[in-house]
Amino acid sequence: MRSALTLIVATITINLAFAQREIGEDTGWSLKDRMYVGGGLGMDAGRDFNGFRYFYAQVSPILGYMLTPKLSTGVGINYTYLKYTDLDLSTSQYGANPFLRYNITNELFALTEYNFISVDPDILNDNDKRLLFERFLVGAGYTQRIGARGAINFVALYDLRFTNTGPFGSPWVLRVFFSF
């Protein structure tokens, strides 16, 4: 149960300033009107399922473009640092995630993204080359508006390519993030 809780806590990332823009019929079609930037931060600490202490930090900026009032696309990059203090072991993983978002209603949206993640081999095996993992995530989210531009968003994604190997312990990815 403790490992499941650790996995859930590590997977739920508080992402700040995702900055999904809204456009309407009166919005111009200039590049400035359609582009948005944002990103997220995540952090976790505790003990893993073996009882080892760890610290986890993540940064994930994005750049997006509104194709229509309901459809946007973009790309995010991410960097994650993981340190096991009991083992004197640390590693970095990084990658990119092109995404597509469709606003079904003002509150509900569908999201898909393809993740490319490069992992330090010292964590998974004795190879000296970094390992590349890919995930194809699909899911849905809910947006609760806070003021004119702000919102809190809840997203559940499922990895259609999940295998029980690599750095991911579950096919599910849960996110909570604020947009401004």
- The string of pLDDT tens digits covering residues 135-174 is 999 999 998 887 765 677 788 999 999 887 667 778 998 8
- C-beta of residue 60 within 8 angstroms of C-beta of residue 78: yes
More confident: 69 or 136: 136
Q: Which of 35-49, 53-67, 106-120, 164-178 has the highest mean pLDDT?
A: 106-120
The phi, psi pair for 10, rounded to 5°, reads -70, -30
More confident: 103 or 119: 103
- Would you put residue 126 in left (φ > 0), alpha (ψ -120 to 50) or beta? alpha
- C-beta of residue 34 within 8 angstroms of C-beta of residue 65: yes
More confident: 160 or 56: 160
- C-beta of residue 68 within 8 angstroms of C-beta of residue 86: no
Residues 27-47, mean pLDDT to the nearest whole number:
78
Enclosing H/E stretch for 11: helix 2-11
- Of 161, 149, 172, 158, the residue nearest 18 (C-alpha): 149
Lowest mean pLDDT among 2-6, 10-14, 105-109, 130-134: 10-14
What pLDDT is attached to residue 16? 33
- C-beta of residue 19 within 8 angstroms of C-beta of residue 37: yes
- Of 154, 151, 157, the residue nearest 171 (C-alpha): 157
pLDDT in tens, 73-90: 999 999 999 888 888 888
- C-beta of residue 101 within 8 angstroms of C-beta of residue 71: yes
Q: Is the pTM of this model over 0.85?
A: no
- Give 124's pLDDT tier (boundaries 50, 70, 90): low
- Would you put residue 161 in left (φ > 0), alpha (ψ -120 to 50) or beta? alpha
What pLDDT is attached to residue 97? 92
Task: Identify each DSSP E strand in 104-162 by its residue range.
Answer: 108-119, 131-146, 150-159
Q: What is the mean pLDDT of the chain?
A: 78
The phi, psi pair for 8, rounded to 5°, reads -65, -45
Provide the percentage of residues in the chain whose pLDDT is more than 90: 27
What pLDDT is attached to residue 5? 41
Does position 64 have pLDDT exceeding 90, yes or no? Answer: no
- Give 10's pLDDT tier (boundaries 50, 70, 90): very low
Distances 82 to 17, 44, 62, 66, 175 between C-alpha atoms, Å: 23, 9, 21, 34, 19
